Amino acid sequence: MKHFTVDQHEQVQVWTIHNTPMNYMTAPMSQELLELVGRAESDSNTRAIILTGGVDGKFITHYSVDELAAMADDPATCAQTFPAASAGFHRMLDRIMLMPKAVIAAINGDCMGGGYELALSCDFRLAADGPYQIGLPEAVLGILPGGGGTQRLPRLIGRGRALEVLMFGNVYNPREAEQMGMVNRVLAPEKLMPFAMEWARTIASRPPRAVAAIKRAVYLGTDRDLESGLYIERMEMTQLMCSEDARTLMTAYNKIAARDPMVARSDFLKGIGVPPAKGN
């Protein structure tokens, strides 16, 4: 891997992004990221992933404008080739979104354009406090956020606020992004990775089939009509109810509740004393 380093911390992988000096997103980086996703999808030893920047002050600054401008140089060629390139980038981000593992973007510097669209495809966005920018400024360049930004951001923060971000091409400091709902948490820089690791380890301790089913139900169900969404929920719940982990964990809960229902309520449901999930 030229642009990513991978570190394993028990059931959590950390993917660190390197493309000095500015950490621009490029097509080769996208291909490497797709390869990492493919590996992680079938890796039962990895249950959560953290993505973070490896260049000081940069998560991913934005997609390479040099690369985009080269594609746009010949309008006729661009009209023929760009749709396929765009579809490939969309498929890569969809794979991240629907990967049956929790994915956390630990934003530690500039995160705009394609970089923020990558963060939008993750389940959670945690940001270090600091003097850097988060947003989708593509309108300033005469284009739109073509890596899913026009679709994922409105689903995250609502249509009105998303249009404000998109049409003005606004960028925000981390605290402003948190107020807009664009990130889940803003943390002191030294607390970003420990907090992200705590979240990742907690989710990694949950039954992996439940985590994957929740992701599918949310991402595939909430943008449909209610009846269709509830159908997806029923199908996912049926599969989970028949799983070994569900039977084991519910039996363990009932045993504790029979002895002391308040302990079951206060401790077990917080994850204390829960048998490890096998993934079955």
Of 11-15, 52-56, 231-235, 276-280, the least confident: 276-280
Annotated catalytic residue 117: yes
Q: What is the pLDDT of residue 266?
A: 86
In this predicted model, what pLDDT tens digit does every residue of 93-123 receive, in sequence order?
999 999 999 999 999 999 999 999 999 999 9
- Taking 80 as the threshold, does the pLDDT of residue 186 lie above it? yes
Q: Taking residues 47-63, what's their average pLDDT?
A: 97
% of the chain exceeding 90 in pLDDT: 91
**Domain segments of the chain as ranges:** 4-204, 208-270
The four Cα atoms 28, 33, 39, 44 give a dihedral, to 10 degrees, of: 170
10, 32, 35, 117: the active-site residue: 117
138, 178, 190, 233: the active-site residue: 138
The four Cα atoms 222, 186, 31, 86 give a dihedral, to 10 degrees, of: 50
Which residue in 159, 160, 162 sits closest to 145, CA to CA?
A: 162
pLDDT band of 187, cuts 50, 70, 90: very high
Overall pTM > 0.85: yes
**DSSP assignment of the chain, as one string?**
--SEEEEEETTEEEEEE--TTTT-B-HHHHHHHHHHHHHHHT-TT--EEEEEE-BTTEEE--B-HHHHHHHHSSHHHHHHHHHHHHHHHHHHHHHHHHSSSEEEEEE-SEEETHHHHHHHHSSEEEEE-SS--EE--GGGGT---TTTHHHHHHHHH-HHHHHHHHHHT-EE-HHHHHHHTSSSEEE-HHHHHHHHHHHHHHHHTS-HHHHHHHHHHHHHHTTS-HHHHHHHHHHHHHHHHTSHHHHHHHHHHHHHHHH-HHHHHHTGGGTTTPPPP---
- Taking 90 as the threshold, does the pLDDT of residue 17 lie above it? yes
- Taking 80 as the threshold, does the pLDDT of residue 280 lie above it? no
- Taking 90 as the threshold, does the pLDDT of residue 264 lie above it? no
Q: Taking residues 232-250, what's their average pLDDT?
A: 94
Annotated catalytic residue 41: no
Top CATH class of 4-204 equals alpha beta
